[in-house]
Amino acid sequence: MRSRLFLKIYLTLLASLAAVAVASAAFVWLGQGEEELSWQSQRARFVTALIPPDMDRRSVEATLERFSRAFDADIAVYDPGGKLIASAGRPLPPDIVERPWHHGRGNFHTMVTELPDGRAVAARMERPFRPAGRNPLAYLALIAGVIGLAAYPVVRHLTRRLERLRGGVDAWGRGDFVARVPEDGSDEVAAVAKSFNRAADHVERLIKSHRALLANASHELRSPLARLRMAIDLYEQAPDKSRKEEIVRNLAELDTLVEEILLASRLDHVEKLDAPEPIDLLALVSEEGARNGVEVSGTPATVTGDARLIGRLVRNLMQNALRHGGPPVTATVVRAGSMVELRVRDHGPGIPDSESARVFEPFYRPSGRSEATGGWGLGLALVRQIAERHGGAVRYESPSDGGACFVVTLPANRAARTMH
């Protein structure tokens, strides 16, 4: 069943062709009438010059005889009263001058020309003296029909691609998030298809990420909730300061986990920072280091971004090193060309090189680490998200003398880079 869009486009094309054909036919028809009148006038003047009114009958007959042999025609000249003056060839009907000036019968064509002096010249020949009149409307209608037939597959191909695009969008809207549309071609339809596929890929990644986040969060929440339930039960049986501290610690862990989930979800939808500003990275790292008991060194460097998010990045790296690494934990800020590097190192067991990339995945736990060592949560995943939102990146390095080192690279502030 053809779509309404196809019918609209095709019928519009046919209507346009019909309008052009009718207008062109009318123009040609009117022009043909003017041409015919001009041809009659020129022909009458030509015949008058060949057979002037004062020419004697014998000379007229000789002239007609030459024309008769040359054109294989029957020719006759009549006076203003319709009386035969001279003729050549076979006789013409007596009432020939009373008939229309041009007509055909069988294979012969008869033409009557009225001269300015009142005489009339009639000629009958097998072929017309000039091309026979043709109907321009028929030719234009034929051309319009051919164009209409040729345009059918073109319009159908275009609308079929639009139908496939609509089908893909409908399937995606029904929940089939892996549905994509063909991107063949290089026109606007292909551009729309490519834009839709890019948007669908992005949305599919977000949905998968949120599903994984929800599944992992539900798993990670079980441990502190179970510990919290047990601590509350024990505290109700025998109130104790240590059990109260356990309840407070589990509540803090839950609060931190929920906060990280909300922040990770928000960063997934952030394309650019709201109000970036210059940040003294060394001062910010020193402040977080003093709060967490981490030694900080390096050179002053300025980056552009959200101070609250950058502070969260530094805090997560330090707390990750303190929780899963070993002392001493150090943080260093250095300049590296147009970039600024932040290095947070610990001297713990480190991470196997085969798992160094996956350590930034949400809730990833390296092999050999049990839940007793504490949840990994979203700390490093948030570090990667924040770094990428600031135009930077994060990577893991394994020092030769052991431990773990996380390196964050951020673009240096342009104004500070120029002054430097």
Evaluate whether residue 164 is within a structural domain: no
Query: What pLDDT band is residue 102 in, cutting at 50, 70 and 90?
Result: very low
The answer as to whether 79 is a domain residue is: yes
Are residues 126 and 186 both part of a single domain? no
* Position 167 in a domain: no
Residue 115 is which amino acid? L
Max CA-CA distance within the chain?
153
Cα(216)–Cα(264) distance, integer angstroms: 13
Last residue of a domain, one of 137, 166, 189: 137
Are 406 and 344 spatial neighbours (Cβ–Cβ below 8 Å)?
A: yes
CATH of the domain at 343: 3.30.565.10
* Total count of domains within the chain: 3
- By DSSP bridging, strand 295-298 and strand 330-336 are parallel
- Looking at the structure, tell me whether residues 323 and 212 fall in a common domain: no
> Residue 42 domain-assigned?
yes
Which of 248, 269, 290 terminates a domain? The answer is 269
Q: Is residue 72 part of a domain?
A: yes
Same domain, 327 and 385: yes
Q: Which of 134-143, 264-273, 374-383, 384-393 has the highest mean pLDDT?
A: 384-393
Do 345 and 313 meet the contact criterion of CB atoms below 8 Å apart?
no
SS (H, E, C) 74-125: EEEEECCCCCEEEEECCCCCCCHHHCCCEEEECCEEEEEEECCCCCEEEEEE
Are 252 and 318 members of one domain?
Answer: no
Residue 170 forms part of a structural domain? no
**d(C-alpha 175, C-alpha 200), whole Å:** 11
Together in a domain, 279 and 348: yes
Pair type for strands 102-105 and 404-411:
unpaired
Closest to 130 (Cα-Cα) out of 24, 38, 50, 26: 38
Residue 172 lies in a domain: no
Residue 62 confidence (pLDDT): 85
What's the rounded Cα separation, in Å, for the pair 224 and 257?
A: 10
Residue 157 lies in a domain: no
Q: Is the pLDDT of residue 268 over 80?
A: no
The single-letter DSSP state of residue 366 is: -
DSSP lists the bridge partners of residue 409 as 341, 393
**In a shared domain, residues 198 and 120:** no
Per residue in 187-243, pLDDT (tens digit) is 777 788 888 888 888 787 777 766 766 666 665 667 677 777 888 888 788 888 887
Residues 258 and 292 occupy one common structural domain: no
Structure tokens at 132: 């026979």
Q: Which of 243, 269, 295 is the last residue of a domain?
A: 269
68 and 185: one domain?
no
CATH number at residue 236: 1.10.287
User: Is the pLDDT at 2 greater than 70, yes or no?
Assistant: no
Using the predicted structure, report yes or no on whether residue 400 has a pLDDT greater than 80: yes
List, in order, residues 6 or more apart from 76 with CB less than 8 Å away.
64, 84, 86, 87, 88, 91, 92, 96, 121, 122
Alpha-carbon gap, residue 21 to 105, rounded angstroms: 31
pLDDT recorded at residue 113: 80
CATH of the domain at 67: 3.30.450
- Considering the domain architecture, whether residues 47 and 127 belong to the same structural domain is answered as yes
pLDDT at 380: 85
User: Do 38 and 83 reside in the same domain of the chain?
Assistant: yes
Percent of the chain surpassing pLDDT 90: 14
In terms of domains, do 277 and 247 share one?
no
| Domain match, 251 and 281 both | no
pTM assigned to the model? 0.49
Domain that holds residue 290: 273-419
